[in-house]
Amino acid sequence: MLVLLLAGCAVGPTYQRPSVDTPVAFKEGQGAWVSAAPGDLLERGPWWELFRDPDLDALAAQVQVSNQNVAAAVAAYQQARALVAQQRASLFPTVNLDGSANRSGGGGSKGGAHNSYTVQIGGSWEPDVWGRLRYGVAAARAGEQASLADLQSATLSAQGELATDYFNLRQLDAVRQLQAQTIAAYERSLRITRNRYHAGIAPMTDLLQAQTQLANAQADQLGFERQRATLEHAIAVLIGKAPANFTLPARPTWQGFVPDIPFDVPSTLLQRRPDIASAERQVAQANEQVGVARAAFFPSLTLSGSASSGAAVIGDLFKASSLVWSLGASLAQTVFDAGARSAQVEQARAKLEQASARYRQTVLAAFGDIEDQLVASRVLQDQLVLRRQASQAADLVEQQVLNRYEAGQLSYTDVVTAQVTALTARRALAQSVSDRAVAAVALIQGLGGGWRGL
């Protein structure tokens, strides 16, 4: 009863989550603030399905299974779980069973050889009087939860990187298609210019300009092919495949669907971010370690007991006359250690402060990240409309200038200028579509895998 009463004498600090200046709403949001987005949006599960792209769905589903960084995080989580089990085992008694059988004798012994048998069972238990063992278990459990959050963070990071690489690759598919069309147009312009040159209408400089423009466009196309191959290799690695065994067919007509982003996302959604959860659990783990360090100031109590039996015949081992037993208790206390235990407590407190500061910084960085992605999503949405208008206008100008050049009303320099402007506008339009998708992915990652309320 005394041991059970003393077991409640915990000496560690009560855990309190570090306070952070949390805004009620995001600065870059719009409209009235609500607690959740519309109910038809996906939760933290397959968030990539929001983009309605079957190829992305198939690739993202393989990340959690085949990505080696995720596999390493899974192994780390399993280690943390094993450590919890190991620490929890220290709360229970340890029981040992020993047995021996010996036969001894010598040439000078009158009785000849004789046998001896011994069986001994013993146990010891250290009651957790001051909570040291319980704090160790709680610290290990917090470490397990932090490891689980790290696993979720690694998975989300790999999925986000995959989606970003995929959208950039699809943007290159669209750009390569535009570039192929541009090269075909430049070849037609070169034929027209060559015919005009041979007819004595156009100077040699027009022909040289047309040749230069075509060669540069063809060189740019080779650069786009290299960039696409690099992204394809990166995607293969992310899904756990060798690049030589993976091919992603091109989709030149890819337009990309970007889900509408609810700008009235509450700031409380940051609570679901795995990196914040991991940082908070590390604070809890450091808090428990302070309790472990404090408990070292108090004496440790160990209870032990044993029973043994020895006999010359196996059948006599189980007779009451052969039984020997013992019970004992020991109390140990360090009297002088030159301040070593005090230093350990101060060290544990400093680690707690360090973990708290890292937690606060993680939260603040998360808010900053979300603010960046919200403003990026809003601006890119408006830019896409303007890019589309600019591209349509540049296409009309290009066609009109080319018609006027064929009629002899303009120099070829005007044609080059119009064509370069139109090509730049088309590329910018394709880039805007990809940028919107990438910004949406970054926002989903920033919100911990979605924007639906908790």
What is the count of structural domains for the chain?
1
Report residue 447 CA to chain centroid gap. 13
Burial pattern 13-35, b for ≥16 Cβ within 10 A else e, equals: eebeebebeeeeebebbeeeeee
| Separation between Cα atoms, residue 187 and residue 450, nearest integer Å | 47
Establish if 166 belongs to a structural domain: yes
Instruction: Answer yes or no: is 453 within a domain.
Output: no
For residue 247, give every residue at least 6 positions away whose Cβ sits within 8 Å of its Cβ, in sequence order, or none. 232
Residue 235 lies inside a defined structural domain of this protein: yes
**Pairing mode, if any, of strands 323-332 and 114-125?**
unpaired
Burial class (CB in 10 A: 0-12, 13-18, 19+), 97: exposed
With respect to residue 97, please indicate whether it lies within any of the assigned structural domains: no
- CATH number for the domain spanning 268: value is 1.20.1600.10
The 3-state DSSP class for residue 358 equals helix
Looking at residue 128, its pLDDT comes to 78
pLDDT in tens, the chain (454 residues): 544 444 445 566 788 788 777 666 666 655 333 333 333 334 456 889 889 999 999 999 899 888 888 888 888 889 988 888 888 888 888 889 888 888 877 666 555 677 888 888 888 888 877 778 888 888 889 889 899 989 988 999 999 999 999 999 999 999 999 999 999 989 988 998 999 899 888 899 999 999 999 999 999 999 999 999 999 999 999 999 999 999 999 988 888 888 876 654 555 656 678 898 899 999 999 999 998 888 888 888 888 888 888 777 777 777 767 788 888 888 888 888 888 889 999 999 999 999 999 999 998 888 888 889 888 888 998 999 999 999 999 999 999 998 998 888 888 888 888 988 999 999 999 899 899 999 999 988 888 886 554 3
> What was the pLDDT predicted at 27?
66
Does the residue 247 lie in any domain?
yes
Residue-level pLDDT at 368? 87
- The pLDDT value given to residue 162: 95
CA distance 26 to 30: 9
Q: Which domain holds residue 23?
A: 2-92+128-297+342-446
**The token pair that represents 58 in the structure block:** 């198939």
Residue 325 is assigned to a structural domain of this protein: no
Domain assignment of residue 313, yes or no: no
Task: Judge residue 437's burial from the number of C-beta atoms within 10 Å of its C-beta, 0-12 exposed, 13-18 middle, 19 or more buried.
Answer: buried
Interior CA angle at 21 toward 17 and 25, to 5°?
A: 115
**pLDDT at position 25, please?**
64
- Domain contains 225: yes
3-class SS at 27?
coil
What pLDDT, on the 0 to 100 scale, is given for residue 41?
39
Contacts of 167 (CB under 8 A, 6+ apart): 256, 434, 437, 438, 441
